[in-house]
Amino acid sequence: MRQEAVAGKFYKESFDELDKELNECFTSKFGPGDLPAKRKESKIKGIISPHAGYAFSGACAAWGFMEIAENEFPDCYIIIGPSHYGNKSGISLEDWRTPFGMVRNAKDVSIALKNNTDLVIDEEIHEQEHSIEMQVPMLQFVNKDNLNSINIVPILIGRDIEYKKLAFQISEVLKDLNKSCVFIISSDFTHYGPNYKYVPFTLDVPKSINKLDKGAIEKIISLDVEGFADYLNSTMITICGYMPILLFMSILQNQEYKGKASMLMHYTSGDILNDFKNSVSYASILFKD
């Protein structure tokens, strides 16, 4: 079983404290303002969700997980995050534990992906990585009505894969499996400031960060894969989950996605701290089915 790596650091480590913390993410001024309502029969394809500590990005993440809570419960959630500690990509076959309990691995999907794509099983790269872990307690919180039925496919993406090829492979596997899957793509957006070695501007920093982020988000919601890749190269924007995003956009293209994408929320750590010397941006983006 994959144990928690950042409980007590990025989020509260006891059941009750974590439950309270996530309640506050939904009801805070940056959050949706309320807890999820009842499920509808509509479906979503996936969300892009941040992965910083809940004190910073939890309210932003709550917007996307509100949609997960209020739409149809799928057979599995495919959680794709960036690897912060290396360039290797890989799937975890483990069940994952959080203070809310265990979440089962959708092993049939995970093994099918291992057998039919360039992805390999690599538990070691998952041990300390937080990008996927930060999505799991939130997923449990909004699925209290299906807590024992949650199945996840945890995939870390480094820079060792060709995302277009992998997107085609994943699309073919999912088509053959014929299961309902919702994607959760883990990414923060602009990391600005000397701490991140990225200071492309020094004047009107909040407005400039917002403009930089929105330029990337516009490419994403229009599913302009090449445009997003070009934007990454031309601006050198520090989006840590750019590879998972490129992969997901390419999967949607392969699946001939006809739904509608939209930005639900966007703000920065600078907005919370009122200090933009060093700032990380968070965005919640929805892909309706």
- pLDDT, one tens digit per residue, over 79-96 is 999 999 888 999 999 999
Can you tell me the mean pLDDT for 17-24?
Answer: 98
Residues 47, 51, 53, 57, CA torsion sign: negative
- pLDDT confidence of residue 274: 96
- pLDDT confidence of residue 217: 98
- pLDDT confidence of residue 145: 87
Can you tell me the mean pLDDT for 255-270?
Answer: 97
- Give the number of C-alpha atoms closer than 13 A to the C-alpha of residue 200, restricted to the C-beta side: 14
Per domain, the residue ranges of the chain are 15-288
Distance CA 119, CA 173 (A): 12
Can you tell me the mean pLDDT for 194-205?
Answer: 97
- pLDDT confidence of residue 286: 98
Can you tell me the mean pLDDT for 25-49?
Answer: 96
Distance CA 80, CA 250 (A): 13
- pLDDT confidence of residue 103: 98
**Helix H or strand E encompassing 66:** helix 54-70
Residues in the chain: 289
Question: CATH homologous superfamily of domain 15-288?
Answer: LigB-like (3.40.830.10)
Distance CA 46, CA 67 (A): 9
Can you tell me the mean pLDDT for 102-123?
Answer: 98
pTM: 0.98
| 3-class DSSP state of 156 | strand
Rounded to the nearest integer, the mean pLDDT of the chain is 97
Question: Pairing state of beta strands 191-192 and 90-91?
Answer: unpaired
Can you tell me the mean pLDDT for 99-118?
Answer: 98
| pLDDT at residue 229 tops 90 | yes
Residues in CB range of 66: below 8 A, 6 or more apart: 26, 32, 36, 142
Can you tell me the mean pLDDT for 106-119?
Answer: 98
Can you tell me the mean pLDDT for 228-242?
Answer: 98
Can you tell me the mean pLDDT for 196-208?
Answer: 97
Beta bridge partners of 105: 152
